[in-house]
Amino acid sequence: MAAIHLLILSLLTLTLTPKPILSLPLHKIPNFDPDIALLGDAEIVDAGSSVHLTRPTPSSSGLLLNAKPFAFLQPTSFSTDFSFSSDGVALVLAPADLLQRFPAESNSPFGIPRGSKLFAVEFDASTHDVVSVRVSNVSSPLNLALTNGVKGKVQAWVDYVASAKRLEVRLTETGASRPYNPLISFPIDLSKMWKGEEVLVGISSSSGNSKQISSVYSWRFRVRSVPNWMHSQPVDPMQYSDEGGEQKKEHKGSSCPLTVVCGLMLGMACGALVAFIAFFLWTIAVNRHNGIPLEYLKHPVGFGYEKVSVVVEK
Domains of the chain: 35-225 (2.60.120.200)
Distance CA 35, CA 32 (A): 9
For residue range 144-192, what is the model confidence (pLDDT) as tens digits? 655 554 457 889 999 999 999 999 999 888 888 999 999 888 888 999 9
Of 9-13, 112-116, 202-206, 265-269, give the range with the top mean pLDDT: 202-206
Angle between helices 256-289 and 237-254 (to 10 degrees): 50
Nearest to 136 by CA among 81, 76, 93, 73: 93
Query: Is residue 228 scored above 80 in pLDDT?
Result: no
Contacts 24+ apart (CB under 8 A), 105-112: 106/59, 106/61, 106/206, 106/208, 107/208, 108/61, 108/206, 109/206, 110/61, 110/63, 110/204, 110/205, 110/206, 111/40, 111/61, 111/62, 111/63, 111/204, 111/205, 111/206, 112/204
Q: What percent of the chain has pLDDT over 70?
A: 56
CA torsion, points 248, 251, 256, 258, in degrees to nearest 10? -130
Cis status, amide bond into 103, omega within 30 of 0:
yes
Q: Residue 236 in 3-state DSSP?
A: coil
Reported as a pLDDT band with limits 50, 70 and 90, residue 71 is very high
pLDDT at 234 over 50: no
Residue range 154-163, pLDDT digits in tens: 899 999 999 9
Structure-model confidence comparison of residues 15 and 77, the more confident one: 77
Residue 162: count other Cβ atoms within 10 Å of its Cβ. Answer: 18
CB crowding 234-265: b at 16 or more within 10 Å, else e: eeeeeeeeeeeeeeeeeeeeeeeeeeeeeeee
